[in-house]
Structure 1
Amino acid sequence: MKVSLIRIIEKGNNVRLEVNVTKNRTYKLGVTALLLSALLTAASQVFYASRVQNAHPFLFTGISFFLTACYFSFFARSQKETYRWKSSWQSLLKLNLSSVLAFMGFYFALKFIEPAIVSSLEMGLGPLFVIFLALMQREVIAKAQWGIAFGTLSACLLLVISVFNGVSGVQTNLDSSAILGLIASVACGLGAVLCTNYSNRLSGMGWTSSMILTHRLYGIIILSFIFTYNILFDYIFENILWILIVTVAGVLLPMYLLQKGIQYCETFLVMMSLCFVPVFTFLFQLFDPRISWSTTTLMGVVLLFILGVFSINIGEKQS
């Protein structure tokens, strides 16, 4: 009897040990996936910014997001979920418009503005727009959130002023292109917040991630082809190779890795990985001869990173 009891205890200990080892492996896999996703995203932003100087920025968004929609459509069909169009078409329409702001604004800005600044403004302006939307819904804003909001606003203003004063990594004149690039950077920050909001609404209506990713890109695809239909065939054969490379390495693969990270890691670590993207972007752009060193940009990127980490810590404590 004692021998049987000992064996049962040993088996139980072995099972717990195997579970702990499995959890440790999946956690490491998730961390690796998040790190690779951030690195690939940052590298693709710098690579895209260097190649788009001689091409229309919406050539990439049209072709790339058409392929992305086709890719996720395959997975959405395999899930055999029922679409609830009647109750969700308004949220889907708003998600498409928000995606236009987020993605077309982002890739347009990269043609004229330093990649690290575009990436930082997208991340840094997020808390400001979140507070603005919360105020519109008459929600109470914590003092710490106000502090983070004003801090991110200061850091973003520092980056904007660096562009206007010509001390950013990309030497630009204060012309319409630079102003449009900054406006597009602000727009992509707003679009990113709205995308999160409307994606959550669709998720609450029973839409899966693949379903959302398949149908959120129609606005981008249509507008991109409207802007480039007359030059599409003139440029497509010269640019299709790098567009495919950035699509796979900079869009599809980071999305897949990010999803794996979300699956295996806690929310805190996922959000932390997103804060690292502007930092990685700044490091990668040092290898681009078109972009020079900018201490002002580095200060803004680091400040936004610190505020981002602080914001995540506050969110974790509140939850």
Structure 2
Amino acid sequence: MSPTQVGIVFCLAFVTLEAFQAVYLGTVFQNVSSFLVGAWVFGISVCGCTLATLLVRPNEIVASIRAWKTVVALNVFAALTWTSYFAAVQLIEPAVVFTIFSGMVPLGTIMGARLGLPEAASPSTRASQVGHLTILISLLVLAAITILGYSGFVRGGMIDALVGLGLSAFSGGCTAFVILYSVRLNTRGVGPLAQFGLRFVLYALVAFTAFKFGIDDKAQETPAGELTLIVLVGLAVIAFPLYLVQKAVPLVSASVIAAITALGPAMVFVLQLFDGRTHYSMLTLTGLSIYMTGALLAVFGTIMPKAQSTKSAVIYLEAKTEHSDKVEHVSGQLF
């Protein structure tokens, strides 16, 4: 497999685990503090990955210190992402949260390009532009469905729906900047393992502090055995998927990562059917169908020009080689 194909496999694995995560955490966080789980999962990730980096790749720690401004920006956006996402998934239908979150990643990448971040790129082909516009339309449709009460789940009333939608969009937009700053940090010599350890320092501290102050307290104590299981599953469905997408960063472009990340909501919709708190909603499925159409167009428009450029380059090289062979053959006959 080529590096690009490996990167795409990492992205697809990331999307699959993220889909399970959205449904699982949406259920767990009804009874357990999201900050308690977040502090444990990301605290373990920070300690483990940073220690491993110090032992096997200490030069990357040095590189991260030199690029400290990028590390700080990465921490801020990562903290904003997970604080808002964990709150959103408690309030509204997991498929809606994940769709809006995922859709805002490529749209946030466009915003990054408008702000002048060199790692970001706006859609350059007609198919990609139509795809991104369709994604935006689908997000507005899903928002309307949720606000009007036709989605599969809202924990409270219209206010909860609005807050959940806003947090979902905000977390997705922040994730786009996490990806962009990860790309920048990678070009400065800080690899996936080091980044995974360093990017969640701020969130781990915020989560621990918030839990101590009783923010998102569910008014019931979680048994140690149950919490241990939740943390272990959390490491598998929160930390590991993020490591996979981090591994994909040096292999494929930020635009490709953003486009593929937008393909997961259908998986969430299927998985949430097994969750008792979420009802089947045909309108949600309609919104997801619009979204999937846009996401596929965006992926097609992003990847195909690169494939065509590669094919053109191969044809050019083959033609050039054939021409050189003919010249050598004629030269041999003349001399």
Whole-angstrom CA distance in 2 between matches of 1:279 and 1:49 = 16
Structure 1 residue 85: Cα displacement? 5.1
Structure 1 residue 50: Cα displacement? 0.8
Question: 3-state DSSP class of the match of 1:84?
Answer: helix
Question: 3-state DSSP class of the match of 2:30?
Answer: helix
1:284 has 2:262 as partner: no
Residue 138 of structure 2 is matched in structure 1 by: 155
The residue type equivalent to 2:201 in the other structure is Y
Residue 249 of structure 1 is matched in structure 2 by: 236
TM-superposition CA deviations, 1:8-63 (whole Å, max 9, x none): xxxxxxxxxxxxxxx59x99998876655433321222111111111222222111
1:44 to 21, 24, 43: 21
1:174 has 2:157 as partner: yes
Whole-angstrom CA distance in 2 between matches of 1:136 and 1:29 = 30
Whole-angstrom CA distance in 2 between matches of 1:314 and 1:51 = 38
Structure 1 residue 143: Cα displacement? 6.2
Question: 3-state DSSP class of the match of 1:207?
Answer: coil
The residue type equivalent to 1:316 in the other structure is I
2:193 to 210, 226, 240: 210
Unaligned 5+ segments in structure 1 are 1-22
**TM-score (norm. length: structure 2):** 0.76
Residue 184 of structure 1 is matched in structure 2 by: 167
Structure 1 residue 248: Cα displacement? 2.9
Residue 304 of structure 1 is matched in structure 2 by: 291
Residue 36 of structure 2 is matched in structure 1 by: 59
1:224 has 2:207 as partner: yes
Residue 80 of structure 2 is matched in structure 1 by: 101
Whole-angstrom CA distance in 1 between matches of 2:14 and 2:110 = 28
2:45 to 49, 68, 71: 68
Whole-angstrom CA distance in 1 between matches of 2:139 and 2:146 = 11
Structure 1 residue 157: Cα displacement? 0.7
Residue 59 of structure 2 is matched in structure 1 by: 81
Residue 4 of structure 1 is matched in structure 2 by: none
Whole-angstrom CA distance in 2 between matches of 1:249 and 1:127 = 25
Whole-angstrom CA distance in 2 between matches of 1:229 and 1:247 = 20
Shift in alpha-carbon separation, 1:90–1:189, aligned structure 2, 3 A: same
Question: 3-state DSSP class of the match of 2:42?
Answer: helix
Report how many residues are paired: 296
Whole-angstrom CA distance in 2 between matches of 1:48 and 1:242 = 13
Structure 1 residue 173: Cα displacement? 3.9
**TM-score (norm. length: structure 1):** 0.80
Residue 15 of structure 1 is matched in structure 2 by: none
TM-superposition CA deviations, 1:192-245 (whole Å, max 9, x none): 111011111111211111111111101211111121114589447375134223
Shift in alpha-carbon separation, 1:298–1:141, aligned structure 2, 3 A: closer
